[in-house]
Structure 1
Amino acid sequence: MSKPFRRILLTGAAGGLGRQLRGPVKDFADVVRLADIADMGEAQEGEEIVQCDLADRDAVLRMCEGVDAVLHFGGISTETPFAPIMNANILGMVNLYEAVHKHGIRRVVFASSNHTMGMYRTTDMVDATMPLRPDGYYGVSKVFGESLSRFYWDRFGIETVCIRIGSCFPEPANRRMLSTYISLDDLVELLRCSLTAPRVGHTITFGVSDNPSVWWDDRHARHLGFVPKDNSAKFASMFPAGDYPPVDDLATIYQGGGFLYSGPQYPQE
């Protein structure tokens, strides 16, 4: 069976999710170009390796040469001081989209984050049309990425699917993740749908499995054709009903969870 693309680019290939996706995304293209600032080891069959600093405009331009589509998982993926986030997630995003535009690449799948909406309460139901409410510098950088990708769609017709990824781990680490969990298999299927749907324009979708407790309404992304197969119900017994954190805990009140404690802090009295 022929693959949808001749060559795709996976940025952030040395990161937590990038390492897990390295094998599965080979089903999408004859060649997968893996890129990261960190060491990725030796190239395997059907792979190309490119070490690249996203803040280096010329290096990013070379990284994107000959590519048909981009899976952009590169950048800082945790809450940190602003300077490294600015270089990797903001300047890096500008460099990437300028390279995508110059090379005539028509589709990008952008690993955005649920932390673009982290200041909504866990009692809220959120959809892609609602105002953005990031919970830290990391979330702000993903808001910028979503806006920049929208600009390149409106101005240049470059299609992007922004996936607000929940929590992609083998199993939830806390009660919050029962709502935000997405299995690796579901994430790979969502990537496939995002790459191959006939027309996506600028789409924002929530990367989450079919969990019993949900905070996100994904009706605006149904045209992608994504149907999750997994859910977090099998992990519910890990978090007994009586084992709840305090009701005044910020990580309980807000969808951003622990990022409320790792981001910029209120001034001390």
Structure 2
Amino acid sequence: MRVLVTGSSGLIGSNIIKLLKDKFDFIGLDITKNNQSPDIPTIFSDALNINDIADSIKNVDAIIHLAANASVHTSWEKALSNNISLTHNIFETAKNIGIKKIIFASSNHAVGNFEMDIPYSNIVKGNYKNLSPGKYKLIDHKVPIRPDSQYGISKVFGEATGRYYHEYYNMDVSCLRIGTFNAENKPNNIRSLSTWVSYRDLSHMIEMCLINQKGYEIFYGVSDNLWKIWDIEHAKSTIGYKPLDNAEIYRTK
């Protein structure tokens, strides 16, 4: 399967390509070189202008769309250009040239304001009093959107765009509400003991989406953490997600 990865030289892109490059034929799309996998063919262009390179990607089977301004503190102006307009252009170009599968890197920030509510507000602060793992309701793919930032709003737009292109153009679209994916590849604060996703778990989820996902789906990109607040059973039952990691092994006693 030939797979275009937008934002291929970023933190997520470079790591999933490194872990999955023996299973898929990747093509990168970025303005900089992928230093972790310099052998991967790369189109050096701004993903915002993907239509300009449409002829170069007509033989692609799927797109993993990661390119974005990834900071939760992103201004509206940057979110509008680098997240909203860019994502629309990705889907529209895919439709025009016949690419039928897109994995969209959404974010937990599309539903981030659930963390204002008990018990989630306590869990992300490390306050587990009167709580037991697995005994509270997890935030699942059916909850209403509750973005916590302009960045979160831009990711909600991407999810809505994915649904539109699925329902009108029969694309298979996976929206991954990705948790804490960081340079250390381990939890780095109390909140991330709930929200962390390891490199290998997210790569595995993406692999399963490429192979097994049909229709339109929302999944939470999070490892099987003891104190997770997001549901992963839907991903397990739908695409065969089998996470291997648990943030708890990194907890400092």
TM-score when normalising by structure 2: 0.85
1:150-165 equivalences under 5 Å are: 150-165=163-178
Taking only aligned residues, the RMSD between alpha carbons, in angstroms, comes to 1.9
2:176 alignment partner, SS class: strand
CA distance in 2, matches of 1:235, 1:81: 33
Judged with a 3 Å threshold, the aligned counterparts in structure 2 of structure 1 residues 180 and 137 are, in CA distance, closer, same or farther, namely: same
**Conserved? CA contact 1:113–1:139, under 8 Å:** yes
CA distance in 1, matches of 2:53, 2:83: 13
Q: Which residue does the alignment assign to 1:245?
A: none
Judged with a 3 Å threshold, the aligned counterparts in structure 2 of structure 1 residues 115 and 186 are, in CA distance, closer, same or farther, namely: same
Q: Do residues 209 (structure 1) and 223 (structure 2) align? A: yes
Q: Which residue does the alignment assign to 2:90?
A: 96
2:27 alignment partner, SS class: strand
CA distance in 2, matches of 1:210, 1:82: 33
CA distance in 2, matches of 1:43, 1:194: 22
CA distance in 1, matches of 2:36, 2:140: 41
**Conserved? CA contact 2:18–2:36, under 8 Å:** no
Judged with a 3 Å threshold, the aligned counterparts in structure 2 of structure 1 residues 213 and 196 are, in CA distance, closer, same or farther, namely: same
**Conserved? CA contact 1:210–1:229, under 8 Å:** yes
Instruction: Point out where structure 1 has 5 or more consecutive residues left out of the alignment.
Output: 241-269
Q: Which residue does the alignment assign to 1:243?
A: none
1:161 alignment partner, SS class: strand
Q: Over residues 185-226 of structure 1, what are the superposed CA-to-partner deviations in whole Å (9 max), with x where a residue is unaligned? A: 1111111111001x4210100011111102112333321110
Q: Over residues 233-262 of structure 1, what are the superposed CA-to-partner deviations in whole Å (9 max), with x where a residue is unaligned? A: 11111xx5xxxxxxxxxxxxxxxxxxxxxx
- Which of the numbers 186, 190, 212 marks the counterpart of 1:175? 190
Q: Which residue does the alignment assign to 2:206?
A: 191
CA distance in 1, matches of 2:82, 2:31: 10
Query: How many corresponding residue pairs?
Result: 230
1:120-135 equivalences under 5 Å are: 120-121=114-115, 123-124=119-120, 125-135=138-148
CA distance in 2, matches of 1:55, 1:63: 15
Judged with a 3 Å threshold, the aligned counterparts in structure 2 of structure 1 residues 114 and 60 are, in CA distance, closer, same or farther, namely: farther
1:8 alignment partner, SS class: strand
CA distance in 1, matches of 2:45, 2:62: 17
CA distance in 1, matches of 2:23, 2:158: 24
Judged with a 3 Å threshold, the aligned counterparts in structure 2 of structure 1 residues 195 and 81 are, in CA distance, closer, same or farther, namely: same
Judged with a 3 Å threshold, the aligned counterparts in structure 2 of structure 1 residues 36 and 57 are, in CA distance, closer, same or farther, namely: closer
Letter in 2 for 1:212: L
1:190 alignment partner, SS class: helix
CA distance in 1, matches of 2:35, 2:245: 31
Q: Which residue does the alignment assign to 1:224?
A: 239
Q: Which residue does the alignment assign to 1:17?
A: 12
Q: Do residues 84 (structure 1) and 78 (structure 2) align? A: yes
Displacement of 1:41 in angstroms is 5.7
Q: Which residue does the alignment assign to 1:27?
A: 22
CA distance in 2, matches of 1:226, 1:102: 31
CA distance in 1, matches of 2:52, 2:10: 19
CA distance in 2, matches of 1:214, 1:63: 41
Instruction: Point out where structure 2 has 5 or more consecutive residues left out of the alignment.
Output: 121-137
CA distance in 2, matches of 1:60, 1:80: 27
CA distance in 2, matches of 1:14, 1:208: 21
CA distance in 1, matches of 2:251, 2:201: 19
**Conserved? CA contact 1:35–1:63, under 8 Å:** no
CA distance in 2, matches of 1:63, 1:14: 19
Q: Over residues 8-61 of structure 1, what are the superposed CA-to-partner deviations in whole Å (9 max), with x where a residue is unaligned? A: 1111112121222232231332x311111334469744x211122232253253
Percent identity between matched residues is: 32
